[in-house]
């Protein structure tokens, strides 16, 4: 009987946007309380938020990277909160800029232990990397969806590289299907 993998749980979304053609980061640092800006160490301003729990990196070019969100709503809310604070302080930025997801990291569990050595031998080297002396997991690179999966002997997996949550779900289903078809689940 095939085990059903747990629904993937998003751990982190990295997304980018642009607030303006340029930002005066010294001025932004004085507005965003608790932000970190040390241009000698890092060219961007770091602003950590508690709710939603995210971090935004703002650059002089006007580009913004948001990391740490567990959903697109977290990302959108974080970007909108910062944009509103800057607008209220008189810094001209886009109120609701377009957001582009760069990467989604998620975890899932196949619900059963698996033999990584057997999987590596059976599935071949084209999409698999397995060097247990270097790393305890098997790296499985899917082409469609373009997602990288780290599989562990416990059946747990970390998926990365997706741009949409649906790609993560498809990857989990595909991996479970392949492993089941080959008799590993």
Boundaries of every domain in the chain = 20-96, 103-181
CATH architecture classification, 103-181: 2-Layer Sandwich (3.30)
CATH architecture classification, 20-96: 2-Layer Sandwich (3.30)
Contact by Cβ (8 Å): 105, 12: yes
Task: Please tell me if the domain spanning 20-96 has the same topology as the one spanning 103-181.
Answer: yes
Find where tokens 């642009």 sit: 18
Contact by Cβ (8 Å): 23, 97: no
Contact by Cβ (8 Å): 3, 173: no
Contact by Cβ (8 Å): 74, 52: yes
Label residue 111 left, alpha or beta by phi (over 0 means left) and psi (-120 to 50 means alpha). Answer: left
If one compares 56 and 181, the residue with the highest pLDDT of the two is 56
Confidence of residue 173 (pLDDT cuts 50, 70, 90): very high
Strands (E), 113-155: 128-129, 138-141, 148-151
- Alpha helices, DSSP H, located in 35-129: 72-88, 116-123
How far is residue 22's CA from residue 60's CA, in Å, rounded to a whole number? 5
Beta-bridge mates of residue 158:
107, 150
- Alpha helices, DSSP H, located in 32-115: 72-88
Quick: pLDDT tens for 86-115: 999 999 999 999 999 999 999 999 999 999
Going from the C-alpha of 75 to that of each of 81, 97, 158, the distances in angstroms are 10, 12, 21
How far is residue 164's CA from residue 122's CA, in Å, rounded to a whole number? 29
Quick: pLDDT tens for 46-59: 999 999 999 999 99
User: What is the percent of the chain with per-residue pLDDT over 90, rounded to a whole number?
Assistant: 89
8-state DSSP, 2: P
How far is residue 80's CA from residue 97's CA, in Å, rounded to a whole number? 8
Q: Is the pTM of this model over 0.85?
A: yes
8-state DSSP, 39: T
């Amino acid at each position: 009987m095939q085990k059903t993998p747990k629904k993937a749980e998003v751990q982190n979304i990295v997304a980018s946007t642009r607030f303006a053609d340029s930002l005066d980061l010294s001025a932004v640092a004085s507005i965003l309380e608790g932000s970190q800006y040390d241009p000698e160490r890092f060219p961007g301003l770091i602003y950590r938020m508690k709710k939603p729990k995210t971090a935004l990196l703002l650059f002089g070019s006007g580009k913004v990277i948001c990391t740490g969100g567990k959903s697109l709503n977290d990302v959108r809310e974080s970007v909108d909160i910062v944009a509103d604070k800057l607008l209220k302080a008189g810094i001209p930025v886009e109120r609701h800029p377009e957001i582009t997801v760069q990467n989604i990291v998620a975890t899932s569990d196949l619900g059963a232990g698996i033999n990584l050595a057997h999987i590596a031998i059976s599935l071949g080297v084209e999409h698999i990397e397995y060097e247990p002396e270097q790393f305890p997991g098997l790296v499985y690179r899917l082409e469609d969806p373009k997602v990288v999966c780290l599989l562990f002997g416990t059946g747990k997996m970390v998926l990365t590289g997706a741009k949409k949550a649906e790609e993560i779900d498809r990857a989990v289903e595909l991996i479970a299907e392949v492993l089941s078809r080959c008799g590993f689940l």
